[in-house]
Every structure is written in C-alpha cells, then in structure tokens.
Amino acid sequence: MNLANPLLSWYDKCKRDFPWRNHNFKSKDEHAYHTWICEVMSQQTLLSVLLPKYLQFTASLPNITALAHCPEDKLRALWKGLGYYARARNLQKGARYILNNLNGKFPQTQKQWQLVNGCGPYTSSVIASICYNEPIIAVDGNVIRVGSRLLNISDNSIWNPRGQKKIFDFLQKHISKTHPGNMNQALMDLGATLCKKNNPNCNACPISTYCKSYELNTTHLCPSTKPRALSKTQTLFAIIFKNPGCNSKIALIKRQNGFLKGTFGFPLNPNAHIWTKAYEYLKNIKGTAVLCKEKFSHSITHHKIKGCVIIVESTGEKSVKSVFSKCFDLKEDINWVDANRLNESLSSSLDQKIYKIWRLQE
C-alpha cells in the first residue's frame, strides 16, 4: 500500500487553482519567496481575503530586498485587513535575516527555514518540500483531520504533540520521494475539498481504500473536537483624545505593551477605575470626558475584550502630556492624526471598531 500514487494522480486532475501554483517562477528562490508569503498570510485568513491581498503584496514587494526595506507605513497598509500584524513584522525580520545573515542566500532545508522569523515546522516543511523537493510531510489542521481518519484515531490524543507525531510518522512513510511538494499540496487540497469536517465526500476520495474510519463508518468521530483553550476576558478603555489646539486632530500612539504591542492606534487602558479618575481630573481642569454608550467586544486568540470608548477634550490649561500620564498612565509619544485620515492610519480591526463607535457619537 502506498498513498503517494493515488494522491498525486488525483492532485494532477483536481488541484485547486491558485496564483502561487500557476505562476512561472524564474528560480526556486523566487518560488520560495511567494510560497512563504502566501503561507504566512493564509494563517487565520479566509481564502477570499487572502487572494487579493497576496497579489497586492507580492506585486508591491516582489522580493526579500523590497520586503526588508519596506517602510512600516507601507507594510501596515499592505497588511491591512489581514489582522495579526505581528506576522507581517516577522516576515520583514525574516527577509532581513536572509539578507544580512545569509548574504541573501535562501535557506533550502526545513531545518534551515525554521531559523527564519515566524517560520514554524509547518511553514518550513511546506516551503522545503514544494520549492526544494525535500521529502518532508507538513502537518496542519487539515492534515490532522485526514490523518486521524486514515488511522481511525477518535480520542483527544490527536491534539497533543505525541498524537500529531503519530500522524506525521505514518504519512512520512508514504511521502513521494520525487514529488513531495505535490504530495503535501494534495493532502492540503483533500482536507479542504473532500475530507471536510462534516460529511466527507469519501466516494470521490482517491485514498478511501486505505482509510480505516471509512471502512469502520466512524468518520464522524474522527478527529475528536479540539478541547477549547480557556479564554481570558479583559475590560479595556479606549481613549479618543482631541487635540486642545485643533479639535480635528486625534491622538494615536504606538503601543509599547500588552498583546497589541507594536501596533499603532488609540490609547488603551485596562484599569477599571480609569473612567472615574479621568472624569474627576478633567472636571478640575475644565476638560471633559464622555463615556460612549455603545460598547465594543473583540477576540484575539485567547483574549476576549469588552471595551468602552472615552472621548476626552482638554482645555489646554495643562499640557496634553501631563493629562495623558495623570489620567491614563500613558507614557508613549503622541502622534496627532487628522480625524479625516484616521481610518487609513488604523491597521487593527480593534481600532476600526473603536473608530466606528466614535463616528457614531460625533
């Protein structure tokens, strides 16, 4: 029994049509650059969002030199709508690592790719197998589902590293030595198009004769539901601070701490007493702090955020910096952004929600 042949024949006929698959790349490194970008972009991103963003990103930054030297504003604009900006930052760090530490020479093996920022075992295996023909299986959520069904594993062991190693070891024995990249892409496509979570289309599956859960009629039990990670709920106050000298300018900061570290947006504060503290302080200096009725909620990985928006106006009797630090414990530098251009300066979806609430209030 060998899974490679039926999978490769099926892939030749049924593979999904993507720009990074059909492009005529001039070199393995150019192919690797595009595969790397699309793999990082596709994490936690819908395909319909990914496709136009990938085309725009690679047209604007066609190689590691362009990516390594891209100014932050431009990188943020290219990443806008994809979320988790840390991924874009890691891509840029990775491009700089290849340029500066490897003299621009691309890594070739899965092990070498894992030294590039943001490249875990999965992304490294995808790039090494597709672009440099290394026979190594890439295991992601789709492949875990296919593997658990092939082996009929229905318990929770599949969600820990040992269980996933079982799937890796099994598929690794079957990997095509001549077309490992196509084998990985065939498994990805099989998981996405036939071996779906609900109602897998086993009649059309090229490897159904090797599938234990199909044989035992247990596909609905494999894999088990992934145990949920406990999520933390946090309350955040978002501050819309109007410039005392010019009301149409709003304060944005580059966040130095917390899970949004490094992002550019409205000042945030988790202190439950911040609202009363700000209200009292501003009253005494003839300023105002208005708490918007509309609330926002937001989820980032295991964080759930319940938030309120405070609109602050100060008369300018005290310096803005001192109001900022006294009321809101903020030490970051302020960037005054024109209210009409605010929307385009905000890259995170959390800031977009805050912006909408403020617009409703205005």
Give catalytic residue positions: 39
Q: How many residues bind ligand SF4 (CB under 6 A)?
A: 14
194 near ligand SF4 (CB under 6 A)? yes
Identify the burial level of 14 via C-beta atoms within 10 angstroms of its C-beta, where 0-12 means exposed, 13-18 middle and 19 or more buried: middle
Out of 35, 125, 185, 213, the only residue in the binding site for ligand SF4 (CB under 6 A) is 213
* Nearest distance, CB of residue 212 and ligand SF4, angstroms: 8
Please, which residue, 190 or 327, has the CB nearer to ligand SF4?
Answer: 190
The site string for ligand SF4 over 132-161 (x = CB under 6 A, - otherwise) reads --------------x--xx-----------
C-alpha distances in angstroms, 294 versus 231, 289, 306?
A: 23, 15, 11
End-to-end CA distance of the chain: 68
* Nearest distance, CB of residue 215 and ligand SF4, angstroms: 9
Strand partners, 299: 304
Please, which residue, 45 or 213, has the CB nearer to ligand SF4?
Answer: 213
Q: Residue 63 phi/psi, 5° resolution?
A: -155, 175
Phi-psi region of 104 (alpha: psi -120 to 50; beta: other; left: phi over 0): left
202 near ligand SF4 (CB under 6 A)? yes
Q: Which residues contact 261 (CB under 8 A, 6 or more apart)?
A: 255
- Cα–Cα–Cα angle for 122, 125, 130, rounded to 5 degrees: 125
The site string for ligand SF4 over 214-233 (x = CB under 6 A, - otherwise) reads x----x--------------
**Which range touches ligand SF4 (CB under 6 A), out of 1-9, 67-75, 165-173, 210-218?**
210-218
CB 354 within 8 A of CB 296: yes
Out of 171, 211, 251, 289, the only residue in the binding site for ligand SF4 (CB under 6 A) is 211
* Nearest distance, CB of residue 28 and ligand SF4, angstroms: 31
CB 287 within 8 A of CB 313: yes
What is the rounded CA–CA span in Å between residue 258 and residue 118?
A: 19
171 near ligand SF4 (CB under 6 A)? no
Residues at the site binding ligand SF4, with contacts judged by CB under 6 A: 146, 149-150, 194-195, 200, 202, 205, 207-208, 211, 213-214, 219
